[in-house]
Amino acid sequence: MIAITAAVLFSPVERIEHPVVLMDDGFISEIQPRSSYTIPRNAQIIDCGDAILAPGFMDIHIHGAGSHDVMRPPGEGLPAMESVLACHGVTSYFPTTVTAPMDVTLSALERLADVIDRADGNSNKGRANPIGIHLEGPFLSHARRGVHPPENLVRPSIAVFDRLWQAARGHVKLITIAPEVDGALEVIREATNRGVTVSIGHSDATFEQARAGVTAGARHATHTFNAMRPLSHRDPGILGLVLADDNLSADIILDGIHVDPVIAKLFLKMKGAERAVLISDGLSATGMPDGRYRLGAFDIQVKDGKCMAGDTLAGSVLTLDRAVRNAMQFGSIGPQLALRAASLNPAVASGTSAQRGKLAAGCRADIVVLNSSFEVIHTIVGGRTDS
Give dist(CA 78, CA 59) in Å, integer.
15
Give dist(CA 266, CA 253) in Å, integer.
14
Question: Residue 309 is inside which H or E element, if any?
Answer: strand 306-309
Give dist(CA 346, CA 371) in Å, integer.
23
Candidates 193, 187, 191; CA nearest to 172 is 191
Candidates 218, 245, 242, 214; CA nearest to 230 is 242
Strands 64-65 and 2-5: unpaired
Give dist(CA 191, CA 212) in Å, integer.
15
Which residues lie below 8 Å from residue 170, measured CB to CB, with a gap of 6+? 194
Q: Which of 204, 245, 255, 281 is catalytic?
A: 281
State the amino acid at position 353 in one-letter form: S
Active site residue 281: yes
Longest CA pairwise span in the chain (Å) = 66
Catalytic residues: 281
